[in-house]
Amino acid sequence: MTQDNTWRRTVNERAAAVTITVDGRPLRARAGETVATAMLAHGAAFDRDRTGARRAPLCNMGTCFECAATVDGRPLTRTCLVPAREDMAVQTQGRL
Amino acid sequence: MFDLAIIGAGPAGMAAALTAADHGLRVVVIDEQGRAGGQIFRRPPETFTGSEFRPTAGYEWATALIRRFEADTRVVGRFGWSAIGILHEDAEPDTLCVAVNHPTRGTGMITARRLLIATGAYDLPVAFPGWTLPGVMAAGGVQTLVKAQKVAPAGEVVLAGAHPLLLLVADLLVGNGVPVREVAFAQSIPAPAEMLRALNAVPGHLRMLAETGTVLTRLLRRGVRVSPRTVVTAAHGTEHVSRVTLTRVDRRWQAKGAPRDVAASHLVVGYGFVASTELARQAGCELTFDSPRGGWVVAHDERLRTSVPGVSVAGEPAGVAGADASRAEGALAALALAADLGRPVPAAAFTEAERAVARAARFSTVVQRVFEPDREALGRLATQETTICRCEMVSRGNVDDFLASAPFVTDVNAVKLSCRTGMGPCQGRYCENTVAGVLAAARDQPIGLGGRFSAHLPVKPVPVGDLGALDTPLPEPGATPRDIN
């Protein structure tokens, strides 16, 4: 799931740490951070397309749906719009 | 029931909400983001302490506008909610219903007598080989990640495009310690640079683009390579971008000379903006194709009323023109809506608002002309193997083959129905422009002649179970008007 981190957090003025799971693996995020941001900062993989190629967020504003995942059982949730919350469960597989 | 529902809390939506409330309207503002400001004034989450909001130079008014908006208890905010469709209430002819969806709360309905569509714009998608690789990102996406989410690319970055936003993003990256390898501009640099200087002479000018000139100078001084007449023609890598190909182009953005490769882990693409019109399309508003103003834009009269009774438009969907124009249009649209609903609006208020719109237009018209993307040239960047519809994995070859086999197809919707371009979750937002370019090239007709994708409810996909709640009114908050997530 992880690879070399391609994004890094630039400041530490964030709220309390929360733990979310992405495809079953725990991932530390900061409250208020979006799920997509936490995933980018940890090098977590987003979904793959039908050819098996990786995809990643393109717009970070809710229009491209490349960051969509199943979040707490709700499919096609745009992770760039959802703040990370304790115990949030993110499943990346199964894009439409 | 509200008097006015506003979709979008950017400069247009905020200005409209305050103006409407000043004229006694009960207003609700719906926005997908957690806080007001729109994309141009995206702010860090409230939980990020010490991250003060500083608007881009030239938009110093934004801080006061946001503060006024957030302090105004008359306006009801629905933040974190997406507007997914507009429905007419047959039983009550003067009522519009806005279907809204929330990532955890599901679907509900907000009813209002009037509607203002202030849905903004997004980065113009351009399909070229490798554009689906992780590490390729839209300029606006990178900007909001850096300034509002406080993360930055961890490797070397190349930026490519044709819009001044690219320079602001490059400057933001350099300021955050990100190594910027190169900024490739499709235009020749002297022309925009001269224009930027000339804009100081535009009456009531905005300083945003003058600031861009300063930024260009600063980037050059810091040793960032800024390449004129250069476009990105490919991104390479297996799981992530590792290098990009840049190619010199002529005045018409046609490739000339040998391509060269630059090592990079991130590619930021910024060719301009597309007006976000899907909600207006779904509502049945007439649109017109106006390339320099963002492609398909919502037709409107001089007071921002669309062709659908009760529905107005403001900001980028009315024609991409920047934050000043958006704010001015929001205020004017709200005055007109208040007057339509029988509230007294002094003629002087209209005169002032119309003057502000005209002032902003004088500036934006120059900008639109200089930075208009060459859509034909961008359409040629996709090769036969290039994926043009990211959601449904349709290649340019798929579309070209279909067009060759169906010589009478001249409409993008026919391509959509036959090739599935635009039928995935993004619903055509990321392929419409490319499909239009491919069709125009195949038929040797202007891009606007191919029409546009139609939009249906929900304009943003929601779990199918949520649609059952479409007739459920969203409870109207009483004492606590703010509804942030």
Per-window interface: B 115-144 vs A, CB < 8 A: 122-123, 125, 132-138, 140-142, 144
Q: Cβ contact (<8 Å) for B82 and A37?
A: no
The one-letter code for the residue type at B280 is A
B363 vs B209, more confident: B363
pLDDT for the residue B197: 65
Q: Cβ contact (<8 Å) for B151 and A55?
A: no
pLDDT for the residue B481: 46
Do residues B304 and B238 share a domain? no
Q: Any idea which of B194-208, B285-299, B417-431, B454-468 has the lowest mean pLDDT?
A: B194-208
Mutate to test the interface with A, among B33, B136, B149, B265 (most CBs of A within 10 A): B149
Residue B482 lies in a domain: no
Residue B259 lies in a domain: yes
Task: Find the CB nearest A65 among B144, B239, B391.
Answer: B391
Alpha-carbon span B466 to A27, nearest angstrom: 29
Query: What is the overall mean pLDDT for chain B?
Result: 92
Q: Residue B147 pLDDT more than 60?
A: yes
Shortest Cα distance, chain B CAs vs residue A23, angstroms: 18
CB contact at 8 A, B120 and B325: no
Q: Tell me how many domains chain B contains.
A: 3
pLDDT for the residue B457: 94
Among candidate residues B321, B342, B370, the one where a domain is terminated: B370
Per-window interface: B 306-345 vs A, CB < 8 A: none
pTM, two decimals, is 0.95
pLDDT, tens digit (0-9, with 9 covering 90-100), for B2-56:
999 999 999 999 999 999 999 999 999 999 999 999 999 999 988 887 667 778 7
| Average pLDDT of span A66-84 | 95
Shortest Cα distance, chain B CAs vs residue A42, angstroms: 11
Q: Residue B185 pLDDT more than 50?
A: yes
B429 vs A: CB within 8 A: yes
CB contacts of B103 in chain A (<8 Å) are 71, 74, 77-78, 81-82
B39 vs A: CB within 8 A: yes
Q: Cβ contact (<8 Å) for A76 and B155?
A: no
Q: Any idea which of B133-142, B199-208, B212-221, B377-386 has the lowest mean pLDDT?
A: B199-208
Do residues B245 and B131 share a domain? yes
Do residues B90 and B7 share a domain? yes
pLDDT, tens digit (0-9, with 9 covering 90-100), for B87-104:
988 788 889 999 999 999
Q: Cβ contact (<8 Å) for B132 and A53?
A: yes
pLDDT for the residue B31: 98
Residue B454: phi and psi, rounded to 5, are: -80, 160
Angle between the B165-175 and B139-148 helix axes, to the nearest 10 degrees?
A: 40
For B129, residues 6+ apart whose C-beta sits below 8 A from its C-beta are: B233, B234, B235, B381, B382, B383, B385, B386
Do residues B349 and B382 share a domain? no
Residue B239 lies in a domain: yes
Domains of chain A as residue ranges with CATH: 17-91 (3.10.20.740)
B444 pLDDT band, cuts 50/70/90, is very high
| Average pLDDT of span A43-61 | 94
Shortest Cα distance, chain A CAs vs residue B437, angstroms: 19
A96 pLDDT band, cuts 50/70/90, is low
| Average pLDDT of span B437-448 | 95
Q: Cβ contact (<8 Å) for B50 and A51?
A: no
Q: Percentage of chain A with pLDDT > 90?
A: 76
Residue B479 lies in a domain: no
B26 vs B466, more confident: B26
B485 pLDDT band, cuts 50/70/90, is very low
Handedness of CA B309, B352, B291, A62 (dihedral sign): negative
pLDDT for the residue B217: 87
pLDDT, tens digit (0-9, with 9 covering 90-100), for B262-308:
999 999 999 999 999 999 999 999 999 999 999 999 999 999 999 99
Q: Which domain holds residue B210?
A: 127-270
Do residues B101 and B11 share a domain? yes
CB contacts of A81 in chain B (<8 Å) are 32-33, 80, 103
CB contacts of A57 in chain B (<8 Å) are 137, 141
The strand ranges marked E within chain A are 7-9, 17-22, 25-30, 68-71, 74-78, 89-91
Strand partners for B260: B246
pLDDT for the residue B484: 43
Do residues B84 and B156 share a domain? no
pLDDT for the residue B364: 86
Shortest Cα distance, chain A CAs vs residue B264, angstroms: 11
| Average pLDDT of span B144-154 | 95
Q: What is the ipTM of this complex?
A: 0.96
Q: Cβ contact (<8 Å) for B485 and A83?
A: yes
Strand partners for A29: A18
Shortest Cα distance, chain B CAs vs residue A40, angstroms: 9
Alpha-carbon span B286 to B277, nearest angstrom: 10
Do residues B388 and B304 share a domain? no
B200 pLDDT band, cuts 50/70/90, is low
Q: Residue B194 pLDDT more than 80?
A: no
User: How many CB atoms sit inside 10 A of residue A94's CB?
Assistant: 11
Do residues B55 and B158 share a domain? no
CB contacts of B142 in chain A (<8 Å) are 60
Residue B21 lies in a domain: yes
CB contact at 8 A, B74 and B297: no
Residue B463 lies in a domain: no
For B273, residues 6+ apart whose C-beta sits below 8 A from its C-beta are: B121, B122, B123, B124, B163, B294, B316, B320
Per-window interface: B 163-202 vs A, CB < 8 A: 176-177
Do residues B265 and B286 share a domain? no
Alpha-carbon span B205 to B363, nearest angstrom: 6
Residue B236 lies in a domain: yes
Closest residue on chain B to A9 (Cα):
B151
Q: Percentage of chain A with pLDDT > 70?
A: 91
Alpha-carbon span B53 to B44, nearest angstrom: 8
Do residues B279 and B255 share a domain? no
Residue B428's domain is classified under what CATH number? 1.10.10.1100
Residue B80's domain is classified under what CATH number? 3.50.50.60
Do residues B135 and B262 share a domain? yes
Residue B51 lies in a domain: yes
B51 vs A: CB within 8 A: yes
User: How many CB atoms sit inside 10 A of residue B464's CB?
Assistant: 9
Q: Cβ contact (<8 Å) for B145 and A75?
A: no
Q: Any idea which of B25-34, B53-62, B241-250, B315-324 has the lowest mean pLDDT?
A: B53-62
pLDDT for the residue B480: 45
Among candidate residues B335, B370, B405, the one where a domain is terminated: B370
Task: Find the CB nearest A82 among B47, B103, B239.
Answer: B103
Q: Residue B404 pLDDT more than 80?
A: yes
Task: Find the CB nearest B149 among A37, A46, A66.
Answer: A37
B470 pLDDT band, cuts 50/70/90, is confident
CB contact at 8 A, B324 and B365: no
Question: CA-CA distances (angstroms) from residue B456 to B283, B305, B319?
Answer: 9, 21, 22
Shortest Cα distance, chain A CAs vs residue B460, angstroms: 8
Mutate to test the interface with B, among A51, A55, A59 (most CBs of B within 10 A): A59
CB contact at 8 A, B18 and B12: no
Among candidate residues B214, B236, B270, the one where a domain is terminated: B270
CB contact at 8 A, B376 and B197: no
Q: Residue B478 pLDDT more than 60?
A: no
Do residues B335 and B400 share a domain? no
Question: CA-CA distances (angstroms) from residue A57 to A81, A93, B119, B340?
Answer: 12, 15, 20, 42
Q: Cβ contact (<8 Å) for B45 and A68?
A: no
